[in-house]
Amino acid sequence: MIRCNEPLAKHTTLRVGGPADIYVEPASEQDLAAVLAYCHRHGWQLFVVGRGSNLLVRDHGFRGVVISLAQPQFSRIEVMGERLICGAGAKLKMVAVEAKHNGLAGLEFLEGIPGSLGGGLRMNAGAMGGALFDVVESVRLMSFDGIAHERTAQDMTVDYRSCPTLKDHIALSAVLCGQAGSREEIEQRMNEYSRKRWQSQPAAPSAGCTFKNPASIPAGKLIDELGLKGSRIGGALVSTEHGNFIVNDGTATARDVLALMEVIRQRVRAERGIELETEVEIIGE
């Protein structure tokens, strides 16, 4: 599926941002390789979007090709013993649900991460003390020249909220590992995580946590301590529920969100001498 001038706001959970010149959902790995070859030949910039849950697109949109692995071919989840072979387009929540159905423990923390596996791998997404690469055995990747290959997780560079290997590769699928466990206990843990999340995080549109946690203090706590919760620029406001979330009241622009991020960063720098690093990925012009 190919569309021109596709509004990217609708492909993000924050719901702001302009259009992509070209938006493509390849139906197969061969299609994807052909799109990559086309981009390379014509010098098009490209960006792979997951479920857009950690993404801020600027208001004038993206000059180039945005690729989404949203077609069914890329969203399969297959269970083999204690392993799950998951397509990059699969929702992390579905991975957690599938693991639960098959009595596989250790993947419960994925239930509340609103992204796709591919996006989750690129940022080593995490929640409830777990991070995605804790449970990844191997990843099937495609380099930008269209060649697919497999790598073990140990062969990839992985950090807190980042996987540099995936800056110049596209994740196609991954093998995740669980351990046989009691379905009731798995369900209980998932319910507990869900309850904690709904208690501490906003339901309004957002891009998740805005900043990475500095080593010394969680960003949300820091922003809270500085009294910035509820601060607003245009339609963007610092969530009153969690200081590290910027929510869209339905009228925000990317410019509002970026301006609010800058206000937070400056206050934190001036009052605590801490340099906040953005967790949300920012693209476009």
> What does the binding site for ligand EPU look like in residue numbers (CB under 6 A)?
54, 127-128, 200, 208-209, 212-213, 218-221, 224, 242-244, 279
Please report, for residues 68, 81, 101, 246, 272, the alpha-carbon distance to residue 186 in angstroms, rounded to integers and kept in the order given.
31, 17, 9, 31, 40
Which DSSP letter does residue 207 get?
A: E
The CA-based angle 244-116-5, given to 5 degrees, is: 90
Question: CB-wise, 66 or 280, nearer to ligand EPU?
Answer: 280
Is the separation of the CB atoms in 17 and 284 below 8 Å? yes
> Does the CA dihedral 162-166-170-171 come out positive or negative?
negative
Residue matched to tokens 């992390």: 92
Closer CB to ligand EPU, 11 or 212, in the complex: 212
Closest contact distance (angstroms) between CB of 95 and ligand EPU is 16
Which residue pairs from 264-271 have beta carbons closer than 8 angstroms and sit at least 24 positions apart in sequence? 264/210, 264/211, 264/223, 264/228, 264/231, 264/238, 267/226, 267/228, 268/222, 268/223, 268/226, 271/226
Minimum distance from residue 137 beta carbon to ligand EPU (Å): 23
User: CB-wise, 144 or 198, nearer to ligand EPU?
Assistant: 198
The nearest distance, CB 34 to ligand EPU, in angstroms, is 33
Of 200 and 251, which CB lies nearer to ligand EPU in the complex structure? 200
Least distance from ligand EPU to the Cβ atom of residue 132, Å: 11
Q: Measured from the CB atom, is 33 or 228 closer to ligand EPU?
A: 228
Residue located via tokens 């200081």:
243
Shortest Å, Cβ 280 to ligand EPU: 8
What is the nearest approach in angstroms of ligand EPU to the Cβ of residue 160? 8
Instruction: Please count the other Cβ atoms lying within 10 Å of the Cβ belonging to residue 83.
Output: 15
For ligand EPU, the closer CB: 56 or 172: 56
Token couple for 124: 């080593």
CB of 133 to ligand EPU, least distance (A): 14
8 A C-beta contact, residue 238 and residue 264: yes
> Closer CB to ligand EPU, residue 122 or residue 242?
242
